[in-house]
């Protein structure tokens, strides 16, 4: 569904301009007033503007139970690990395999030191190389 309305200039301030929809007959305005920052309006400010509203449903699905659990685990693990901590690389059993098994297999069981953390994982120094791992694939080394 789409709604189009014409709004007329009702006020000008130093940093903004205000437009309002005029009621038509017995119907009240559908949009009301809109204040727009001065930098976004042409000079001089137009006496009227046309506003188009497109109503839609977001197409992104709600997170599944598994995705919610993974987000919870990531937030927990993120706070538990800090720069300089010793960690071991483990198989990600919480969310399935994030990377191909062949890739992860070469690192399983190895230990290293966290160089820095990010929102979803950490950069780990393993001997002479450094690789980023999601938190679900890291465990504090014993």
Mean pLDDT across the stretch 30-44? 89
Mean pLDDT across the stretch 39-55? 88
Percentage of the chain surpassing pLDDT 90? 24
3-state secondary structure of 105: helix
pLDDT, one tens digit per residue, over 50-80 is 888 877 777 756 555 444 444 444 443 445 7
In the predicted model, is pLDDT for residue 103 greater than 80? Answer: no
> What tokens does 104 get?
């992860």
Pick the CATH number of 78-140 from 2.30.30.30, 3.30.360.10, 1.10.1040.10, 3.40.50.10790: 2.30.30.30
């Amino acid at each position: 569904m789409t709604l189009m309305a014409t709004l007329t200039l009702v006020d000008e301030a130093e940093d903004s301009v205000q437009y309002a929809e005029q009621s038509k007959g017995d119907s009240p305005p559908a949009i009301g007033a809109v204040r727009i920052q001065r930098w976004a309006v042409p000079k001089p400010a137009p006496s009227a503007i046309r506003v188009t509203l497109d109503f839609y449903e977001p197409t992104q699905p709600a997170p599944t139970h598994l995705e919610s659990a993974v987000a919870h685990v990531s937030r927990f693990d993120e706070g538990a690990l800090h720069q300089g901590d010793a960690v071991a690389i483990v198989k990600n059993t919480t969310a399935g395999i994030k990377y191909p098994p062949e890739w992860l297999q070469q690192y399983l069981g190895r230990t290293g030191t966290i160089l820095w953390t990010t929102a979803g994982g950490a950069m780990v120094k393993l001997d002479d190389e450094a690789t980023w791992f999601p938190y679900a694939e890291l465990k504090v080394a014993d």
